[in-house]
């Protein structure tokens, strides 16, 4: 099924293979949603599929086929070609540049791309430029409309977790800036183990914000787990 959804450009869509012309967007009658007439390839979806293929290769090698290998190579090429000149990747289903960079770097790294690859290091440099004084990251919801990173007033738990995951893929586990981010994330955890309510970080077709309640729980745990795993690697 996943192989079937890969587009001609090598990327993966969200729910259906892109089979219509982008010109169909001219007939979009919605007042709010952007790019809804045909499905498009998305960097975060592509990064996720690459993670899946890499996991199959590692955990179930007998299931890893030549078709998966070829599809993965095309997916890597799509991601490398989709990187903006400033080093970022723009996502559609979450805000926006922190989300995209997180999923793409994870997919590239799991696919065998070195942490020292120019694309990954450019993405890391992009993220470092937006780290807040407290160690976290906060990308404002206005980033979705502006199509550029806009600083939020405060750091956001899940966005900080996304940045940490991406920077760990760049080999920065022992960087003092990364340690500061990890400590900030830990300090936000409440006594009951939960994290406090965060601003909406989910996104729908570039215009509508969605509150995914488990983002503030899932992604910090994932980031902290990855951090510990990176520290244990000699």
Question: Domain extents for the chain?
Answer: 2-232
For residue 197, what are its two tokens? 């309510």
The Cα–Cα gap between 141 and 162 comes to 16
The Cα–Cα gap between 108 and 14 comes to 19
Supply φ then ψ for residue 86, to 5 degrees.
-85, 0
Q: What is the pLDDT of residues 150-176, one digit of tens each?
A: 999 999 999 999 999 999 999 999 999
Cβ proximity of 221 and 185 under 8 Å: no
Report pTM: 0.93
Please report the pLDDT score of residue 234 as a whole number. Answer: 62
**CATH number, span 2-232:** 1.50.10.20
């Amino acid at each position: 099924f996943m192989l079937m959804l890969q587009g001609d450009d090598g990327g993966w869509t969200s729910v259906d293979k892109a089979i219509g012309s982008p010109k169909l967007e001219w007939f979009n009658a919605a007042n709010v949603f952007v790019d809804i007439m045909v499905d498009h390839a998305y960097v975060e979806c592509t990064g996720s599929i690459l993670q899946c293929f890499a996991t199959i290769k590692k955990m179930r090698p007998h299931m890893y086929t030549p078709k998966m290998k070829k599809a993965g190579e095309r997916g890597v090429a799509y991601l490398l070609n989709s990187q903006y000149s400033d080093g970022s990747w723009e996502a559609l289903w979450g805000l926006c540049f922190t989300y995209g960079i997180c999923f793409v770097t994870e997919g590239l790294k799991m696919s065998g791309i070195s942490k020292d690859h120019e694309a990954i290091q450019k993405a890391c440099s992009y993220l470092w430029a937006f780290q807040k004084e407290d160690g976290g990251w906060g990308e404002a919801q206005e980033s979705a409309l502006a199509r550029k990173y806009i600083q939020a007033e405060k750091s956001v738990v899940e966005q900080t977790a996304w940045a940490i995951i991406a920077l760990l893929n760049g080999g920065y586990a022992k960087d003092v800036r990364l340690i500061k981010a990890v400590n900030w994330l830990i300090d936000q955890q409440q006594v009951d183990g939960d994290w406090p309510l965060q601003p909406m970080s989910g996104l729908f077709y570039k215009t509508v914000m969605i509150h995914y309640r488990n983002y503030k729980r899932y992604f910090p745990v994932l980031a902290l787990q990855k951090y510990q795993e990176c520290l244990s690697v000699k």
